[in-house]
Amino acid sequence: MPTSSKSDKRRTLTSAKIIEAALTIADTQGIETLSMRKLATALNVTAMSMYNHVANKDDLLSLMLDHVVSEFELPNKDGPWQDMLRRRAHSMRRAFLRHPWAPTLLISTITNGSHTMQDTNATLGCLINAGFSYAAADWARNAIDSHTFGYTMQELNFPVEPDKYKAAAAHYLPEIDKDKYPYLHSATEVLIKGEYDGITQFDFGLDLILSGLSPDNSQ
């Protein structure tokens, strides 16, 4: 009898498998180390095989990004619109912390994957249903996403673990000229003593925006 095609050398490659392996490499080793050859090796396949399933590397990256967006929590639940948008923003930040390479690519790429469209649609819908005009909803979403992207990207460029971040600050301190940059110097000293709490600081800016928004305060 012929061997089942399942365990065969053939037919085993799918775009889903490629995306999964690519995400693993990007998450664990960094997006800059992700090459088509390396990805192929991880899949026990040659580089060109993958071109039967993804158009090119850019296409692969778009598919990876749409997967990341699929991890965003859709603002579909009941509750005040502020809570729904806050939950979505929190889930975005967590997704970006899981996939540190994603926000940079996501914000500099026009993506039209289905999850991305679903996310935008649901977020706008949440605001529209709260009484925002389409224009106001667009502005509100823009302000919230600007904070989410901007904050998280700054956070990612930071040694997150408390030990490491204090050590890094202590390492940079002597390089900061106390006379030229007195405030920066003092701020770094304060940083070394203090605690870093990413989510609290994230919410600080987010709440400034959310509490300022209302269905009739724009245009």
Partner DNA sequence: TCGATATATATACAGTGTATATTTGACGAG
Partner DNA sequence: CTCGTCAAATATACACTGTATATATATCGA
Smaller CB separation from its own copies, 6 or 183: 183
Instruction: State the CB neighbour count (10 A cutoff) for residue 2.
Output: 5
| Contact between 142 and its own copies per CB under 8 A | yes
Residue count, binding to DNA (CB under 7 A): 25
CA distance 161 to 150: 20
Q: Give which of 203, 108, 115 is closest to 151, Cα–Cα.
A: 203
Minimum distance, C-beta of residue 180 to its own copies, in the bound complex (Å): 8
Minimum distance, C-beta of residue 15 to its own copies, in the bound complex (Å): 20
Residue 62, classified by CB atoms within 10 Å of its CB into exposed (0-12), middle (13-18) or buried (19+), is buried
Question: Which of the ranges 6-14, 16-24, 59-67, 106-114 carries the binding residues for its own copies, by CB under 8 A?
Answer: 106-114
Residues 38-77 that bind DNA (CB under 7 A): 38, 45-49, 51-53, 56-58
Question: Which of the ranges 20-28, 39-47, 60-68, 134-142 carries the binding residues for its own copies, by CB under 8 A?
Answer: 134-142
Residue 103, classified by CB atoms within 10 Å of its CB into exposed (0-12), middle (13-18) or buried (19+), is buried
CA distance 155 to 168: 14
Question: Which of the ranges 7-15, 18-26, 77-85, 148-156 carries the binding residues for its own copies, by CB under 8 A?
Answer: 148-156
Task: Tell how many helices (H) and how many strands (E) occur in the chain.
Answer: 10, 0
Exposure letters 171-207 (e unless 16+ CB within 10 A, then b):
eeeeebeeeeeeeebeebeebeeeebeeeeebbeebe
Contact positions toward DNA, by CB under 7 A?
Answer: 2-3, 5, 8-13, 34-38, 45-49, 51-53, 56-58
Which residues would be at the binding site for its own copies (CB under 8 A)? 104, 107-110, 112, 117-118, 120-122, 124-125, 128, 134-135, 137-139, 142-143, 145-151, 153-154, 156-157, 172, 175-176, 180-184, 186-187, 190-191, 194, 201, 204-205, 208-209, 211-213, 218
